[in-house]
Chain A
Amino acid sequence: MLTNRSKVVVDKKMTFSERIYLPAIIGGLFITIKHFFKKKATIDYPKVTREMSGVYRGQHVLKVDENGAERCVACGLCAVACPAEAITMTGAERKPGEEKLYREEKYAAVYEINMLRCIYCGLCEDACPKEAIFLTDRLVEVSSNRDDMIFGKDKLKEKYFNEVDITKRLTKEVIEFKKDKFHLHNQMD
């Protein structure tokens, strides 16, 4: 027996009260009227939005630093970490005069995440040594076209002076965790 809830079927004769249906019907009516006055579970979506968890993993953001320069160095660790293989990138070398745009000598010329492949696990965020990529509590805008769902830097990179708040995901513990790439759990054998 797999569960303790299974009932043995018996082909017993119905009693009189069962045969006249009425008690069962009245019982059913009480059940439905109870539901009639219950609080409804529906959320009137476009007008009312549901409260989201602070650490919700939604659309990604490519962070810029305090001067507005891209943090990403195109190391490819996020792409390696990604279990869904949703991230692709092409690195390029920074030319003289581009210091304001890119923080370090190397940057991602192309950085694409296929939002249809992504499983929003957040491993890219864990893997990033430069605190450049984070998942945010923004929902991904839908499209009727598969090509539109491959997000490039135009959609992923945050705007300078209009930064996306990621303080809830970049907590003290996370910073501590990221400081040392030889993590505790890696050291234990």
Chain B
Amino acid sequence: MVSGFIIYKAIMVVVVFLIGLGIAAYSTYAERKVAAFIQDRIGPNNAGPYGLLQPIADGVKMFMKEEIIPDVSNKFLFILGPSLAMLTACMTGAVIPWSSPIVINGVSYPLQITDVNIGILYIFGVVSIGVYGIMIGGWASNNKYSLLGALRASAQMISYEIAMGLSIIALVMTTGTLSLGEIAAQQAGWHWNVLYQPLGFLIFITCAFAECNRTPFDLPECETELVGGYHTEYSSMKLGFYLFAEYVNMFISSAIIATLYFGGYNMPLVGRFVTDPNILSILGVVFMFAKVFFFIFFFMWIRWTIPRFRYDQLMHLGWRIFIPLSILNILLTGLGILVFNK
């Protein structure tokens, strides 16, 4: 029984890890295609049919490139930076519920690596370690542009984490739990949290953009001002890790948004037609990934629509608009709970 449990967990870990990496790899392809389509172009179409082998070609290119570690850099920290970025990006996938449990031979297997009862806190903790990856990388490069980029990144991420956390507090007030598994299960049918927390969702998704360093908040790596930002000095697969971590983060953010606000694996009306829990569970995976893919697309869609904020505008937005707004959201939620006794 114990060994079976370990094997099941090991399979879950490996599958989630591989799916995460695979989706991140193909996000790079999707990003280029979406960018091209929005700009009336075709995009990569030479590597394989429709350019589908492009991520593999990019990966091979990244591995084959010469690796340069600057002479003046701190070598240990220089290598630690991208490793940390990649590690934290992959760690957050552990608490996301991919679907309702599957029952095999009377034993229930939840499709979630671990349902920690403080899942949201865990994610926040891991995400805030992710800032160190960028900070350390920028610091260890011993380069002005890298340092400025890292400084901006950490300032931005710390600022937006506050608003993000406050918007989550309102969500936790309505759900009454910090466990992602329970939050997803609560949203069966039409009880999606986005309907109860529209303002909170808006704040959360904007902060998620900022946390992922995506446009319109991609100031840490804005080429026009900072060359490459914190990864100016990086080359070869270390650079690849930084870029890849961004896409893994995007995937995880989409999964978290889908879980917290859009019902996770739940889909209204499906329960009426399908009653077998195992089929429902498999359908849940499909719905979950449909939602995740939509949000990944949304991330890209936003990126190729909105120009970058100026740095002072970014800070103004974070501190003077989003934080008061999320506090207001908490008050409104409290009032709502009081009045409707939900």
Check if A and B associate: yes
Interface-central residue, B38, B41, B301, by most chain A CB under 10 Å: B38
Which residue of chain A has its CB nearest to the CB of B38?
A32
Which residues in B have their C-beta under 8 angstroms from that of A40? Answer: 37, 40-42
Which residues in A have their C-beta under 8 angstroms from that of B45? Answer: 44
Which residues in B have their C-beta under 8 angstroms from that of A29? Answer: 301-302, 305
A17 to B: closest C-beta gap in Å: 15
Which residues in B have their C-beta under 8 angstroms from that of A41? Answer: 40
CA distance A25 to B45 in the complex (A): 30
| B278 in the interface (beta carbon within 8 A) | no
CA distance A42 to B304 in the complex (A): 19
B120-136 vs A, CB cutoff 8 Å, 1 = contact: the mask equals: 00000000000000000
List CB contacts (< 8 Å) of B35-54 with chain A.
37-42, 45
| B166 in the interface (beta carbon within 8 A) | no
How many A-B residue pairs have C-beta atoms within 8 angstroms? Tell me. Answer: 33
| A182 in the interface (beta carbon within 8 A) | no
List CB contacts (< 8 Å) of B9-48 with chain A.
34, 37-42, 45
Contact-size category for A: 10 to 19
| B306 in the interface (beta carbon within 8 A) | yes
**B34: contacting residue among A25, A28, A36, CB under 8 A:** A36
Q: Tell me if A38 and B301 are in contact (CB < 8 A).
A: no
| A35 in the interface (beta carbon within 8 A) | yes
Given A35-B37, A36-B34, A36-B37, verify A28-B42 contact (CB < 8 Å).
no
Q: Tell me if A36 and B305 are in contact (CB < 8 A).
A: no
B278-315 vs A, CB cutoff 8 Å, 1 = contact: the mask equals: 00000000000000000000000110111000000000
Q: Tell me if A32 and B301 are in contact (CB < 8 A).
A: yes
What are 20 residue pairs bridging A and B, where the CB atoms are less than 8 Å apart in the complex? A25-B305, A25-B306, A28-B306, A29-B301, A29-B302, A29-B305, A31-B305, A32-B38, A32-B301, A33-B301, A35-B37, A35-B38, A36-B34, A36-B38, A37-B37, A38-B40, A40-B40, A40-B42, A42-B40, A42-B41
Which 3 A-B pairs rank lowest in CB-CB distance, beginning with the nearest?
Answer: A32-B305, A28-B305, A42-B42
